[in-house]
Structure 1
Amino acid sequence: MHFKLIHAIGLMAAFTLSSAVRAAPSVDIYDAREKDWRNGAVVYQILVDRFAPSTNVEGKRSLYAPPKVLKPWSETPARGVDLVDQKLNSHELDFWGGDLPSATAKLDHVAGLGADVVYLNPIHLAYTNHKYDALDFKKISPEFGTRDDFRRFAREAHNRGMKVVLDGVFNHMGRNSQPFKEAMANPSSRWRSWFAIGPQYRGGARVWTGYQNLPELNLEYAPVRDYLYRSDDSVVRSYLRDGADGWRLDTAFELGHAYLQEVTRAAHAEKKGSLIIGEIANYPGEWVRSMDAVMNFSMRHIVLGMASGDIAPASAGRMAARMVSDAGIEPMLKSWVLIDNHDIPRIATQLPKQAARRLVQTLQFTLPGAPNIYYGSEVGMTGGPDPENRGPMRWDLVSETNPEMAWMRQLIALRKHHRALRVGDFRLIEADRLLAFERHASRALDTVLVFSNPTPQAVTERVMVANAALMDDTPMADLLAAPGAKPVTVINSGIMTVTVPPETTLVLGPVERDLGGYSRYKRVR
């Protein structure tokens, strides 16, 4: 009797638990991720001086007094000569005259590509063209405009459904800044503690990576942190109020975990859901515990290493999976996946062969993260190391007939139409000769399978897709093929044979069979 009672109670408990599980409202984590603009966004990067020619360039000519030089838009940047007295290279003082109003006028181009975020390289008051040598973080460089011009830029971007991220260069300022000049000239100056000054430093002050034009800020001094991000009128908070939606932190690893956490808390307190993303050249690891996301240089090396043959495809997959596991999928979805930018040769120069370039770009748009498009990549601009990679935007190449632009739009549209690529989880597909993975969300038919073959020969491999929601005998279609193309393979009990052409990243998605109203997915969606 005692045993029967216990057994009955056990059955009732099991039934109750089972019913509770079935009846519990399902919270779709992927729906929640989609509501966060930072996840899987398409980011478009702009160097303001080089993006769009000013309509008032003649009226601005006085802003480029020697040793600065105003160049014609048609000229390509080239390495200059060292200016010993300026502690610069002359190419750092070459300008092309772009500004915030001209960039605002070109936002339709950016929105037309399908970008979700506009990232601006530094716009604050600085001496050089690149603006990484701040004179005053709270002012806009007059070559670019005013704070009102920035507010209008942000407003117009928002009107087109895009967010705006600014470049925060909080590790250092410029040697021409008044605070640094006073600090160096007067040991009793109130600015003295803002910098590390002393005879132990070559040049008299601690500078970033040996560049004498970039004296480092002393973040250990509380007033510096108040100025940058802690006070109500700080740099970080005031620009967020002006319309910025986040900050990309230059050389973020040099700020250290404690201060990165402070910056992130300050930004989130000022604007809930704002983005703090760090330029972290290290493995992401614990860095994503101190801010929202990182610029994912590690993923860039994995992708390019596989494309060049230096990393075996299956090994590249394991590296990517380890990174996602260590960092967590949420920070990875917010992290920017970049191939080129203002510090790296342009993708068309790195990968002049179209097939290799498209293999890499397809991975950039299908791996977890937010693809970072460097202005001009969408039209096939070329350029070697700095300053060649910072050429003025080639508006003459913007055309509906430009194959690079059509390809970029296709990749962006792929992400727009498949939420698994924007906010889905990442899982490896069991394969030996391919980089193979899936992106999956709550609906089985949203699943996207990716197979990359960097070799010059086609690869046919029988692989296992460990997704129990994909039904037996489900056709798989090439998501980058022309509409109406026939499925390329079929999955059976999680096993499928796939053939990937040479130097190709193949993107497949499940297609529900037309069975006259019957659906294998009727109860598994």
Structure 2
Amino acid sequence: MKKLNLHRLLPITALCVAAACSAPVKTTTQPEAKASEWPRGVSYEIFVQSFCDSDNDGIGDIKGMTSKLDYLDELGVEAVWLMPISPSPSYHKYDVTDYYAIHPNYGTMDDFKAFLAEAHKRGIKVVVDLVLNHSGNGHPWFKEAAANPNSPYRDYYVWAHKDDPKTKGEGKTTGADSFNVNHWHSVPGSDYKYFGYFWGGMPDLNFDNPKLREETYKIGRYWLQEIGVDGFRLDAARHIFPDDREEDNHKFWEEFITEMRKVKPDVYLVGEVWAEAKTVAPYTKGLPALFNFEMSWAILKALQQGQGDSLAIKHANILDIYDDVNPDFVDATILSNHDQNRIMSEVNGDMNKAKLAAALLFTLPGSPYIYYGEEIGMKGKKPDEQIREPFLWDVQEKDECRTSWMVPVNSTEQTVTPVAVQASDKASILNHYKTLISLRNNSRALTYGKIEPVRLDNKAISAFTRSHAGETVLVLHNVSGTAASISLPANLANYKKTLFTNNNAVLDKNTIQLPAYSTIILKP
């Protein structure tokens, strides 16, 4: 593993002062020509059921999503990740019953092809959730396997006799991504149990079976070649094989990407592996993009504790670990997703902290993902339905797109300002997101740049430089509620131009005034 060159950290002294203020985001220079190119650009995660309803049945659908592509284009995203869109009995649709179809509530395959075409016209790539770790227990494979032990589909799943010791004595989870404590499930009238890591409605597929593996390649080829998607988000990528067979998991994804590249050489695969960098890194050979959960946890901790001094060092170390395995990996960074409490709720509704979280996401390394609604400050804490609530497009009487499949608990008009209202407010979190995304999209340094942490005497300040292809920026974030005054030493005195400032952060000669929860980005 590469070691972080701490002797290269740039020294700065910092003194706390006692004032904080808020103001609209400001950019004070014209951005560079567009620099980002997907998959290094910004992506946007959509729960279709909650996003936009086109036919007034209360359920978000593909036509509704198509009608909002201009919104996504204006936001500045270069790709969308769609949570599962295939038939399923559940609201979340992670228990797939047909891998080759669209859930009828969402529309038709023709609707989806039209969405793809319109997205591609706008330069927006489309990534779909591919759920291969398990099927639904309503899938024809499982129904036949459960009913007939001699079925050719029996070996598509994992079975054990009910008296087998491994089906006994459960009572603990084996990963951060599941609270299920019962992994073996009964079939009425049978002496055998099947393995389902997440719950009985999601029986795990048996990847020791070559025929099953070929089925998964066939599914992938269909969506890439016949339908034309740009790639997949791979659900539960760590659980293809049991946790004690980690190397088999790695090898499967290397096989999978090899097969997918036969039909689409530039296929994009992003994996879900809930773990720290040393566990995640080996997956980058087969899954060249992986979500950086570790940094999402670190950003939240920094905001909650008011200490940002270690963020850049931690991120640099993570990147070194990944780089040792696959130098071409894509670091898919997030603040939250459909399985995590929303960032606005995690910071207790503090708008300044939520805006700072976004500033951290778009200035630290990585290719950021936005969970739908983060850009308008939606709230939500588990249970899962309450972190997947309807998106607010306009005030209720004008919102023809708002879904009503559930009654929202967290993100109502009393707690969240709709898009149409925020759009005209320069100080809104929506316009904050737009500004930051535009800044990143037009900066080679912020899109591709290496990170060099800057040493501070103030633990509240996250400071670092980003450099790429002759462009360098100096970034400073105050993650605390106490303002700071920072004197730039001689070796940083050439950073005189303000590229971005928020919450009235300002450079005055060689001194930076950083109010509480503020950001400033400087360039030479």
TMscore range, shorter length: 0.7 to 0.9
Q: Any idea what the Cα deviations from partners look like across 1:200-257, whole Å, max 9, x if unmatched?
A: 443234444351111000011111111111xxxx111111121211111111112310
Q: Distance in 2 between matches of 1:208 and 1:465?
A: 60
**What is the Cα deviation at residue 116 of structure 1?**
0.5
* Structure number having the greater helix percentage: 1
1:222 equivalent in structure 2? 210
User: Does the 8 Å CA contact 2:46/2:80 hold for their aligned counterparts?
Assistant: yes
Matched positions, count: 422
Q: How does 1:88-99 map to 2 (within 5 A)?
A: 96-99=58-61
Give me the whole-angstrom Cα distance separating, in 2, the residues matched to 1:353 and 1:478.
25
> Which residue number in structure 1 is paired with residue 185 of structure 2?
203
Structure 1 or 2, whichever has the larger Rg, is: 1
Q: CA deviation at 1:474?
A: 4.6
Q: Distance in 2 between matches of 1:295 and 1:368?
A: 13
Separation of aligned partners in 1, 2:76 and 2:212? 38
- Which residue does 2:469 correspond to in 1? 442
1:236 pairs with 220, 231, 237, which one? 220
**1:379-398 aligned within 5 A:** 379-385=376-382, 386-396=384-394, 397-398=418-419
Q: Distance in 1 between matches of 2:456 and 2:321?
A: 22
- d(CA) in 1 for partners of 2:44 and 2:124? 10
The Cα RMSD (Å) is 2.6
SS of the residue corresponding to residue 118 of structure 1 reads strand
Q: Distance in 2 between matches of 1:465 and 1:132?
A: 56
* Deviations 1:268-317 (CA, angstroms, capped at 9, x unpaired): 2221222111011112333223311111101101111111117x433233
Matched, 1:194 2:156: yes
Deviations 1:440-497 (A, max 9, x none): 1122xx312111222221223456798xxx8x64513151369xx997156xxxxx65
- After superposition, the Cα gap between the structure-2 partners of 1:505 and 1:377, relative to the gap in structure 1 and judged at 3 Å, is same
**Cα distance in 2 between the residues matched to 1:225 and 1:170:** 10
2:90 matches 1:128: yes
> Structure 1 residues 207 and 449 mapped into 2: Cα distance closer, same or farther (>3 Å)?
farther
Secondary structure at the aligned position of 1:407 is classed as helix
Q: Which residue of 1 aligns with 2:362?
A: 365
Secondary structure of the corresponding residue to residue 455 of structure 2: coil
1:158 to 1:97, Cα distance in 2 relative to 1, 3 A: same
Q: How does 1:32-47 map to 2 (within 5 A)?
A: 37-39=38-40, 41-47=41-47
Q: Say whether 1:341 aligns with 2:337.
A: yes
Determine helix, strand or coil for the equivalent of 1:247.
strand
Unaligned runs of 5+ in 1: 1-32, 58-95, 491-495, 511-525
Mapping 1:303-382, distance limit 5 Å: 303-309=299-305, 312-328=307-323, 334-351=330-347, 352-382=349-379
Match of 1:107 in 2: 69
Counterpart of 2:59 in structure 1: which amino acid? G
Letter in 1 for 2:323: G
After superposition, the C-alpha distances for 1:11-55 in whole angstroms (9 at most, x for unaligned) are xxxxxxxxxxxxxxxxxxxxxx9685211x111111111111132
- Which deviations, in whole Å up to 9, do the C-alpha atoms of 1:322-380 show, x marking residues without a partner? 11111129868722211122111222222211111111110011111122111122222
Q: Give the direction of change, closer, same or farther, for the CA distance of 1:456–1:144 in structure 2 (3 Å limit).
A: same
Alignment partners' CA distance in 1, 2:44 and 2:371: 6
Looking at structure 2, the residues matched to 509 and 118 of structure 1 have their Cα atoms a distance apart, in angstroms, of 31
Change (3 A) 1:414 1:245: same
Q: 2:31: which partner in 1? A: none
In the other structure, the counterpart of 1:16 is none
1:296 aligns with 2:310: no
Counterpart code for 1:322: N
Task: Determine the C-alpha separation between the residues in 2 that align with 1:238 and 1:210.
Answer: 26
CA contact (8 A) 2:50 2:388 kept: yes
**Alignment check: 8 A CA contact 1:429 1:465 kept:** no
Distance 2:145 2:129 in 1: 25
Tell me if structure 1 keeps the 8 A contact 2:148–2:154. Answer: yes
Q: Residue 135 of structure 2 contacts residue 204 of structure 2 at CA under 8 Å; is this kept in 1?
A: yes
If the length of structure 2 is used for normalisation, what is the TM-score? 0.75
CA 1:463–1:268: 2 relative to 1, 3 Å? farther
**CA pair 378-277 structure 1, distance change in 2 beyond 3 A:** same
Identity in percent: 32
Whether 1:251 and 2:251 are equivalent positions in the alignment is no
Deviation at 1:125, TM superposition (A): 1.7
Question: Would the aligned equivalents of 1:117 and 1:164 in 2 still touch at CA under 8 Å?
Answer: yes
User: Which letter maps to 1:306?
Assistant: A
Q: Show the 5 A alignment for 1:412-451.
A: 412-433=437-458, 434-443=461-470, 446-451=471-476
Structure with greater contact order relative to length (CA < 8 Å, sep ≥ 6): 2
Following the alignment from structure 2 to structure 1, what is the Cα–Cα distance between the partners of residues 49 and 62? 9
**SS at 2:101's partner residue?**
strand
C-alpha distance in 2, partners of 1:346/1:116?
22
Check the 8 A contact 1:349/1:382 in 2, yes or no.
yes
Within the alignment, does 1:479 sit opposite 2:500 as a pair?
Answer: yes
CA–CA distance in 2 between the matches of 1:473 and 1:195?
63
Matches of 2:78 and 2:254, distance apart in 1? 25
Question: Are 1:179 and 2:141 an aligned pair?
Answer: yes
Question: For residue 426 of structure 1, what is the amino acid of its counterpart?
Answer: I
Instruction: Call closer, same or farther: CA 1:208–1:149 in 2, change over 3 Å.
Output: same
- Give the corresponding residue for 2:268: 275
For structure 2, the 5+ residue unaligned runs are 1-33, 168-183, 187-192, 241-248, 395-417
2:474 partner amino acid? L
The residue identity in structure 2 corresponding to 1:46 is I
User: Given the superposition, is the C-alpha separation of residues 331 and 299 from structure 1 closer, same or farther in structure 2, using an over 3 Å criterion?
Assistant: farther
Task: Report deviation, 1:424.
Answer: 1.5
C-alpha distance in 1 between matches for 2:83 and 2:94: 9
